[in-house]
Structure 1
Amino acid sequence: MTALRQWFPTVPMLVWGRLYNREAFTNDMVAALIVTIMLIPQSLAYALLAGLPPEVGLYASVAPLLLYAVLGSSRVLAVGPVAVVSLMTAAAVAEHAAAGTHAYWQVAITLAFLSGGMLLIMGFLRLGFLANFLSHPVISGFISASGLLIALSQIKTLMGVKAEGHNFVELLSALMHQASNLHLLTLGVGFAATVFLFWVRKGLKPLLIAAGLKPKLADVLAKAGPVAAIALTTALAWALDWQGQGMKLVGTVPQGLPPLTAPLWDLALWQELWVPALLISVVGFVESVSVGQTLAAKRRQRIEPDQELVALGASNLSAAFTGGFPVTGGFARSVVNFDAGAVTPAAGVYTAVGITLASLFLTPALYYLPQATLAATIIVAVLSLVDFGIFKSTWRFSKLDFIAVATTLLATLLVGVETGLVLGVVVSLALFLFRASRPHMATVGLVPGTEHFRNVLRHNVLTSPKLVCLRVDASLFFANARGVEDRINAEVAAHPGLEHVVLQCSAVNDIDASALESLEAIASRMKDSGIALHFSEIKGPVMDKLNTTHFLQHLHGRVFLTNYQAIQALTPEVIR
């Protein structure tokens, strides 16, 4: 019972479920209708993108929604197949089986199982903070590159040709070699569908409102644009016998509920899949948390990252046991769910019911659906993920962040999604260590008529040739201890008449053993040179750590409460 009491408070459904009422039911049903309309074509398209039969996309959109509704902390996050994770799934599974085969599907199921298990373990260990180590520039560069790769990979379907490749250059080269074999009818249908879907995203809603429709109804109809494209091209393919003219159609899509499946219990396979599964888990978690936090903030709500790990882990495990593949919270469908008025995760339950009904009754109608239409759906969806503006903004704001973005994007395009992401993370961490090893230190002086100190290079301040005051704007640890030591030595060498050095520690939150040893060495050398090392504005926790050592007892200088007191005691002539 004690274990149950500890677990139940972490089940969000027990919180929002007690407050559920008729108004919430109405809002959630309307949102579910809109999201279901949007999710059906997306699920089919992303399954094909992952190299799986289209019905697998529907399977992956049922059980995960139900599990997330019970365990998820976001009120509006919509879980299911997404473009980037589908691409990563295809890249991982293609190493072990041929696309379209039953073995390929089994490996994808196993990948979902491993990803779900990892997320669940990270959630129970409360490792949600690890997402903070994936910087925004790295994620933005990775998603933009993935969007370009996905869009390019779908061009072959629009052209009606076969073109394979593991990176941008290989895909582009293969497409150029196949240009003479393109199928004009397929290209025409795919191009028309792409143009229509781009127009629907921006132009249909204002047109419908101008025609007299209410904004909410106009929004619903605009979101149904992909469904309209699918319905129209499917009808034309059937009526005009496009299959007989060489166009590739979706073909037979099995009817029925998601099947009960199980992962492959092959330890050798698990050893080869654990890295892709971990990358998929981390990318999916970061995307979900980013979307969830953004939408929650708009309603003054909050999400729990550790709870999200548990919810996404359970969702992926459910996908593995119901014939699906790795899933996560999708940006587009979550925004649609939010805008449509969803107030609780029950909207996801109603969406799952809608997808189930589609699996039972609508799949025969998909036989004549042109694959080019689904490719157009993917292209329009993923190009919205591409953000070239971040190159300009990071170049102007931080050259190091620009390096991280450019490295991640180029590596993902030229080498592959997994290597690109790993390299982006490595570069990001390397740049972080580079920054950390070069802490900002400013020589400061007294602002006349005040007790404030400012950078001598930026302000007209009072100083003394007998004293140098250095403000250290970082915690002191092994990576930057040498940099601090070098800066102090440089100041000593540049001031022949120097008698005192004061380290202003107002921004120092911690000092580790390596930095303490470095400070001891600095103080000893300065004492031998007749220069006293002093400290000011040391924070309480840092002082507590220093008091556990003999450093302050052997210090030739003093520790001052404020920098102003240091100036009063050491160089009073500056104040007069």
Structure 2
Amino acid sequence: MMEPLTDRPLRGDGSVWEKAATCCSSAGLKTLLPILGWLPSYELSWLRMDLIAGITVGLTAVPQGLAYAEVAGLPVQYGLYSAFMGGFVYCIFGTSKDITLGPTAIMSLLCASYVEQDPVYAVLLAFLCGLIQISMAFLRLGFLLDFISYPVIKGFTCAAAITISFGQVKNLLGLQNVSQHFFLQVYDTFRKIPEARVGDVVLGLLCLLSLLGLMLMKRSLEPNPEDLPVCVRLARGLIWGLATVRNALVVISATLVVYSSEAAGHHVFTITGKTSPGLPPVRVPAFSEAMVNGTALSFSDIALDLGGGLAVIPLMGLLESIAIAKAFASQNDYRIDGNQELFAIGLTNLMGSFVSAYPITGSFGRTAVNSQSGVRTPLGGVFTSVIVLLSLAFLTPIFYYIPKASLAAVIICAVAPMFDYGIALKLWRVKRLDLLPFLVTFLVSFWEVQYGIVCGIAISGAMLLYHVARPRLKLRDHGVLVVALDSGLSFPAVEYISRLLYTEALTASPPRSVVLDCRHFSTIDYTVINELQDLLRQFQQCEVSLIFTGVPHTVLEVLLEADLPGLKHMESVEAALQALSASTSCN
């Protein structure tokens, strides 16, 4: 009979009851809700720093949100719909004080490949990405990100920087009806240069120069020496502040210019146009869509259209966010919980889909601004979200006059630093073979971004598997053959090792014994056991020995349990050589 639930003891065997008790404990709750770890010790002096940082990032997030929606091929308000949920969710569930979640250039570019300029697709993609990422967190599948190598990441980001930047040239020139595909886009842009609008070109170049100048001014500012006069320190602080919010400053200035021009009846600029006013409605994402021709797309139809995006976008979102969180945690001397970060970004995407957000991730640029502004806790993200919400509530009529050229300038200046000019030279100098996944990812990404990532991962995986299947060997001849593996022995490599021993020892004239140095073995599987059984039989038939030395205890237990005929093992190579020498002398 099943014992009553109330009488069941809490076992220490990893049972459901033990896990439930752990989750309900104080430490378990702090792990699930990191806000419980820092909020009780929150100091009032931190509030000022979090407020300053939150407002500063908010003034950056608003123009970038509008711009990145353009990259995703969506109406500009969707960039702001996607920019505020992360601050509220991450404040409760996140473990990094610095990171800010929202739309980014790379995520917007990836989404553009799948959503086909359809907001229904974009919002449903955010919902499904959230579910996938939360499931990964519960299943602790974050280790999958480790299989995306650094050359693949750099190849993708370099290609993305070029693709995104060139994709905005049409807005700088005021061109219309330019293809979305990169190669056709290049062709259309150069073909239509004579159609460029002078107003857009002049305004776009002025915005670019202003952003570049402010960025260089900020970089030139060194830490304030203590002996500087107060007025000088205030002036340097003012310049730093203006340079930090340069995106907002440039977009506001350009919008005022356009508004004045439109009011005077001069339509010389390409403007954003009408946007949906006010806050987004809170509603369940649409799981189907009615088409103009009267037909309807079901959930399965949309899911099939999204296809590989359901794998690429969740993984790339997690990769980008966790990489940024780790970088700033290392810089500012604290640690993050990778699995909790998976949960936080997944929940942000899931909840964001209820307010018409498209998939988001961590933003490197805004996180850098957040950290430099002196943020102390994730509460800074709440103030950023409030700024975005206020913009949606009161400023959407002004969005009509935002020139597309200014948003293009913001995007170009934001993504240009992503292009690492020296990475190819570094890879060539350190390890030339790593250039292969880098170049494949870089080049294929111009065709389709997702294909570039997949091809790069496939090549990196093949290179990794090759090293596993063909481990390095050290062969020494002491009258008998001594074979040492630089790494362990796994089933992809056992056929290769077996063939080498057969060729070098058993087909020699006369056949000779082999001492196999197993110090680097960490695990062994049944395929290896089966091959070793055949190999030992062949050595016995040739009346020579195969001796295993330095076998770790866990591996030795498996070998003994397999009861291999003719198995010989010793503590060291020297002991095996002495035993074989004594045996030869006796014979």
Which TM-score applies when normalising by structure 1? Answer: 0.88
Deviation at 1:160, TM superposition (A): 0.8
Report the 3-state secondary structure (helix = DSSP H, G, I; strand = E; otherwise coil) of the residue aligned with 2:490: coil
Match of 2:251 in 1: 230
The answer to whether 1:93 aligns with 2:106 is: no
2:293 is matched with which residue? none
| Higher mean C-alpha deviation, range 238-247 or range 195-204 | 238-247
TM-score (norm. length: structure 2): 0.87
Unaligned regions of 5+ residues in structure 2, if any?
Answer: 1-19, 288-298
Pick the aligned partner of 1:543 from 546, 556, 573.
556
Distance 1:217 1:489, change over 3 A: farther
Q: 5 Å matches for 1:42-441?
A: 42-94=64-116, 99=117, 104-206=118-220, 212-213=232-233, 217-241=238-262, 244-265=266-287, 266-413=299-446, 415-441=447-473
Amino acid at match of 1:44: L
Identity %: 29
Q: Is the 8 A contact 1:438 1:483 kept in 2?
A: yes
Q: Counterpart in 1 of 2:576?
A: 566
Show the counterpart of 2:52.
30
Q: What's the CA shift string for 1:303-343, capped at 9, x where partnerless? A: 22221121111100121101211111111111221222212
- Do residues 486 (structure 1) and 499 (structure 2) align? yes
Equivalent residue of 2:521, what SS? Answer: coil
Correspondences of 1:394-543 after superposition (within 5 Å): 394-413=427-446, 415-444=447-476, 464=478, 466-492=479-505, 496=509, 499-543=512-556
- Do 2:536 and 2:566's aligned partners in 1 also have CA atoms closer than 8 Å? no
1:390 deviates by 2.3
Deviation by residue 1:518-542 (Cα, 9 ceiling, x = unmatched): 2222322233333311111111221
Higher alpha-carbon deviation: 249-258 or 291-300: 249-258
Post-superposition shift, 1:138? Answer: 1.3
| Structure 1 residues without counterparts, runs of 5 or longer | 445-462
How many Å separate the matches in 2 of 1:225 and 1:431? Answer: 44
Distance in 2 of aligned mates of 1:510 and 1:392: 38
The more displaced of 283-292 and 359-368 is 359-368
Deviations 1:86-120 (A, max 9, x none): 011111011xxxx3xxxx21221111111111111
8 A contact 1:107–1:263 mirrored in 2: no
| CA–CA separation in structure 2 for the residues paired with 1:433 and 1:339 | 42
- The alpha-carbon distance between structure 1 residues 472 and 166, as it changes in their structure 2 partners (threshold 3 A), is farther
Residue type matched to 1:361 in 2?
A: F
Distance in 1, Cα, partners of 2:451 & 2:219:
41
Q: Which amino acid aligns with 1:304?
A: D
Which stretch shifts more, 201-210 or 256-265? 201-210
Aligned partner of 2:245: which letter?
Answer: A
Secondary structure of 1:554 counterpart: coil
Deviations 1:360-399 (A, max 9, x none): 2333333322110101111111121122422222233333
Q: Which amino acid aligns with 1:491?
A: E
Whether the 8 Å CA contact 2:529–2:562 is kept in 1: the answer is: no
1:435–1:250 Cα change, 3 Å: same
Partner deviation per Cα, 1:56-91 (whole Å, 9 max, x = no partner): 211211122211211112222100000111011111
Q: Give the residue type in structure 2 aligned to 1:195.
A: L
SS at match of 2:489: coil
Letter of the 1:5 counterpart: C
Letter in 1 for 2:473: M
Contact 2:114–2:305 under 8 Å retained in 1: no
